[in-house]
Structure 1
Amino acid sequence: MKVKLLILLFLSTFFYSNSQNTLIGTKAPELNPDKWIYPDGVVTSNETKDFTVVDFWFTKCAPCVATIPELNYLSLQNPNIRFLSITFDNTKIIESFLKKATMYYPIGIDTDRKLIKKFKVSGFPETFIIDKKGIIIWQGHPIHLSSALDKLSKGKQNKSNFELSQKNEWNQQSSYSMNIKEHTLEMGPASSLSIQPFDIMLLNKKVKSILNDFYGINNSRIITSDSLFLEKSYDVQLKLNKKVIDQKNSLDIFRFHYLNSIGLKYEKITKNSLVHELIISDNKKLNTFISNEKYEGTSIRYDNWESKGIKLEKLKSFLENNYNLVVELNDENTNKFNFVLPKNNLKKALLKLENQYGITFLEKNKRTYFYEFKKN
């Protein structure tokens, strides 16, 4: 009993939980959704298991779908554990989804969200581990589930091959594994990006977005003969072997292998172009928007781009990515600011920057840098 209590306390304090409504240490609600759907190859079983893992998700939740390969792998590697999932999507949606994605565990249909409410799920995805006595002993994001299960298992398994993709087509390496494939789940604009020290996971991210996020290359700086290729979306997962890889190298490994895998290379060049030089014309106006935010962040809210605690370099990136302007900074202002700008109207955005923020632009034809992309 003492050992079990120590495990409970460790798991409840060490791992991240999606919900602030922790149920750790309480009796789990009965798992009785409206209907169970069993994907191909998955059969119902009343066999007693050591633990039960329950994952709450839905098909339009990009972070949820991104963790399905991880859950698939864990379900195969842990035959002593029952894996289940619960969704509010209806049967038709799930059956359509299963034609495009592989799942190795049953899906419970909870269209009225009765179980979701009983488990007090306030964010997706959210996962629970339940012991034999029906007590919830862990609650958190499924990306941390593997670590939680390692703590519960009697003996750690050899994880040198790492997790499988949805099609089980991992490129095996001694120090890392990386899977890249075109996105086929048709999730619309929903996408996901997760960067952990030894695990990078992307779902439904466009090439141009990946170039921006991982290479610092903005849209207006890209030269390519195949602009449609920049609109392609990919699912990517990189897993590193902690024993032989320094976490500081994870982004370098991603950058190198991603471009190679999609058949791209680039060269930094200079050429003449129309450039918008960003000039602070009224420091007093701009300084009223200096931010005290501890962390920077940007979001799209209605038709506006909203940012908090960002430097002017981030404003430059927004203008280059969203409006395809080539922007240069002529000011070394290191303050952080809050901005709210129209996302779909360049004229209004420039007027607001001038009238409200005291920022103007001087148009010049001059030499500046670009990134020329070619197929390998």
Structure 2
Amino acid sequence: MTEEIKCYLYWIRTEGMTDIFTQGYVGISVKPDYRFSQHKNKAKIGKVYNKAFLKALKDGTAIQQIILISSVSYCKEVENKLRPLFYIGWNVAPGGGAGGIYKHGLSGSKIKGTYYNILTKIRESGARICDEWGDSENGLVKFSKFYEDNVGENQCISIAGLDFIGPNTVKIQSQQGVVADTKRSLLFEGDIYTYKELGDKFNIKPNTLVWRLRRGETLNQALRLEDKPRRTVKLDKKEYIYNGRLTEEQLITFKNDVESGIPLLRLTDKFGMDAGNLSRVAAKLVICIPRVFIEDMLGGEFEVFSHSKLDSDSYELAKELLLNGTQKYKIAEELGITPSCMTDACKRLKWGEYVEQQRTLG
């Protein structure tokens, strides 16, 4: 099934680079132009590991060259030969891994997308997958057969909380389950609300409210009127033992910086890691990440953690620029975020409702 997809092996380099074995970045994708734009967008917000690669993408000196057009498996094989080890050229990891195929656009269907998404998730969580599905040659075929035989039209597969992924352990659940829950009622301060009504009141998505309650939070905790319960850390499990790149002295500095309220995005250069990795380090070390409440355009409040892409100062600047008539994409460039993040920020600030209110008032 995977062989039918046309795949491209590309090399991102600068004009002076001539050795593909030791220089630049080698990758694969079914949409190389789109993948190149993804690299450039990540560079804008600092989510590129290699600093030289980051600089080349930012200053526009990076160019993409198509090296090979073939099947997915052959492109992966060649990629692995060009990048067999960690930290070759601008790559930070060996090539040819299946874990990142889904985000490279190689899925091609819902079943394939589910399969490669599972591979990505277990790679991040450290869980194991059965030999039947983990087979690099026939894993997708056998998973597809299981999916077609067992998963209905309105159902999906969940691997949440699993240490071992296989036909007998995955959960098959209805996609309508959360939607059904959001139509139920909740009693809050003597009044009855639906999940949607209560979510709108506190600027929380109904589905988010459902899942917070499902995982054991009280209603006040789910609404963030009280601190959410801290995760119980089992130190005897390997995934909670830090064995990463930061030294003991750096961990102490990192802990102090985070607890003092410095956003993780501002610590990326200091520790040489992106915000996602820093967030995982903070979670493993059970570092308490501060949060603040920011006033939206209508006088309400919403919660922001210091590891968010925008801190309180950034939100205040965004509000000021919006009121001055600055276009959203220009504000995104000013704040160093993507346009989609800016759109989400406007929703949290209730900018649309504010504009409508002002239009009504004349």
TM-score higher than 0.5 = no
Place the TM-score, normalised by the shorter chain, in its bin. Answer: under 0.3
What's the TM-score once normalised by structure 1's chain length? 0.24
Q: Which has the higher helix share?
A: 2
What's the TM-score once normalised by structure 2's chain length? 0.25
User: Whose relative contact order is higher, 1 or 2, with alpha carbons under 8 Å and at least 6 apart?
Assistant: 1
